[in-house]
Amino acid sequence: MSEQAAGLELRRDDAARQTVLHLRGDWIQGAEVPPFPELRAQLNAAAPRQLTLACNELGQWDSLLMAFLLQCHNYCREQDIELLDADLPDNARRLLSIATSVPPQRREQAASKRWWQGGHPLAVLRDLLDDLRLSLAFFGDVCLALWALLRGRANTRFTDFRHFCYQAGPDAFAIISLTSILVGMILGYLGAVQLQQFGAGIYVADLVTIGLLREMGVLMTAIVMAGRTGAAYAAQLGTMQASEEIDAVRTMGISPVEFLVTPRILALVVMMPLLTIYANLLGILGGGIVAGGMGISLLQYASQASAAVSLAHIGVGMLKSVVFAILIAIAGCRSGMQSGRDSAGVGQAATEAVVTSLVYLIVADAAINILFQHLGV
C-alpha cells in the first residue's frame, strides 16, 4: 500500500457557520507535515468560535498526529475555541482525551501570594482555609493510595521506598547529631543555672531527659526534617511537574500519588521515630556534658536520667514523631505536586513546603500536648 502525503486544509463553511480542519494522508513518523505556525496564522485570521476536525481522508497515523492534535488542542484552549473531535479515530480521540485531562497550571496562580506572605486579615483567613481544604483533599488521595497499597493494587515501587529511607535517615545523621547535642547542652545549662540556686542541681538530668523525650527531641528533629526532607520532596516533585513528568505518569494510567508520593511518606514515617530516638540519646549526652562541667558526676547524671525515663514519656515522643512525619511529608509532596510549571514555581514550592510544615508542626504539637494534659499522661 503506497504512502499518501500528509496534509491539511482549513475551510470555512459560512452556511453552517463553522470552520472545518480537514486532515488527509498518512501522519506517520518521517512524513512531511505542514508546520503548525501556518495553521495558527490561518486560525488567527479566521477567528472561529468552533473548530471541527474532519478525518474522512485520514490514512495511517501514529504519534506524529497526536503531537499535532495536542498543539491544536492547546491553541484552542488558549483562544477559547471549542474543538470538536467526534470525527477522529476512536483510539486517537481517547489518547487526546487522556493527554489533555490535566488542566494547565496558570502562571498567575502560581505567582500569587500565599496566606503566610501577609495581606488583609480576611484575605489571609480565606487563603488559609483554601490551603487547608487542598491539604485535606490531598490527604484523602494519600489515604486512598495507602488503602490500594494494603490491598496490593498500588503502583508503588519498594526500590524507591528504600532509596527515600536512606535519603531521610542516614543522610540526615550529621545535622541531627549536631542539633541534638547542642539542644541538650542548652537545656542542661539553663536548667542547671536555675536549679543550683535551690540546691537541686542534680535534677537537671530529669529536666533534660523529660524535656527531650516528650518535646524538644522530636520537635527539633521534625524542624530539621521539614527544612531538609520536606523541601527536598517539594523540589523533586516540583521539578517533575515543571518538566511534565507527572503528566506523563498520568497519561500512562498510573496514579502519581501511588507512584511518587506514597514511598516518600512511608520512608519518612519509618525513619522519623528512629531519628527521634537517636536525637534523644545525643541530647541527653549533651546535657550530661554540661552537668559534668557544673560538678555533677556522669554516674549521678546517668542514674537520675534513667530514673526519669518512663514508657509514657517515650510513647508521647514516638506518637509525635509519627504525626510530624506524616505532616511534613504531606506538606512537602502537596507543594511539589501543585507547584507552577517553571523554575520560579519550584523555588516557591520548596519555600511553601517548609513554611506550611512548620505551621503544621506547631499546631499539632500544641494539640497533642493539650490532649495528653487532659488525659493525665
Mean pLDDT of the chain: 86
pLDDT tens for residues 46-72? 888 888 888 888 888 888 888 888 888
The torsion angles phi and psi of 23, rounded to 5 degrees, stand at: -110, 135
Secondary structure class of 19 (helix, strand, coil): strand
Q: Is residue 256 part of a domain?
A: yes
Q: Is residue 355 part of a domain?
A: yes
User: Given this model, what pLDDT does residue 332 score?
Assistant: 92
Q: Which residues pair with 51 in a beta bridge?
A: 19, 83
Q: Where are the alpha helices (DSSP H) in 294-342?
A: 298-308, 311-337
| ∠ CA 312-314-320, rounded to 5° | 100
Q: Are residues 43 and 184 in the same domain?
A: no
192 shares its domain with 55:
no
- Residue 196, in any domain of the structure: yes
Read out DSSP for 180-226? HHHHHHHHHHHHHHHHGGGT-GGGHHHHHHHHIIIIIHHHHHHHHHI
Q: Which of 13-17, 128-132, 160-164, 275-279 has the lowest mean pLDDT?
A: 13-17
Q: What are the angstrom distances between the C-alpha of 344 and each of 107, 304, 350? A: 10, 52, 10
Q: Is residue 2 part of a domain?
A: no
> Do residues 203 and 77 both lie within one domain?
no
CA atoms of 45 and 119, how far apart (whole Å): 43
Instruction: Compute the average pLDDT of residues 344-351.
Output: 87
* 76: containing domain: 7-99
Q: Is 50 exceeded by the pLDDT of residue 110?
A: no
Same domain membership, residue 142 and residue 29: no
Q: What is the domain count for the chain?
A: 2
Flag whether 112 is in a domain.
no
Are 232 and 370 contained in the same domain?
yes
At 176-225, the pLDDT tens digits run 999 999 999 999 888 888 888 888 888 888 999 999 999 999 999 999 99
**Do residues 221 and 336 both lie within one domain?**
yes
Q: How far is CA 268 from CA 24, 151, 346, 358, in A?
A: 54, 21, 21, 16
DSSP for 267-306, please give it. HHHHHHHHHHHHHHHHHHHHHHHHHHHTT--HHHHHHHHH
Cα angle, residue 226 at apex, residues 220 and 229 outer, rounded to 5°: 120
CATH number (domain holding residue 80): 3.30.750.24
pLDDT at 74: 87
| pLDDT for position 102 | 64
Task: Give residue 15's pLDDT.
Answer: 62
pLDDT of residue 111: 43
Rounded Cα distance between 367 and 323, Å, is 11
> For residue 96, which amino acid is it?
L
Distance between start and end Cα atoms, the chain: 81
* Paired strand residues for 22: 9, 54
* Cell numbers that stand for 159 in this block: 526500590
Residue 111 is assigned to a structural domain of this protein: no
Residue-level pLDDT at 56: 86
DSSP sequence for 56-99: EEEEEE-HHHHHHHHHHHHHHHHTTPEEE-TTS-HHHHHHHHHH
For 134-174, the pLDDT digits (tens) are: 878 888 889 999 998 888 888 888 888 899 999 888 888 99
Query: 118 pLDDT exceeds 80?
Result: no
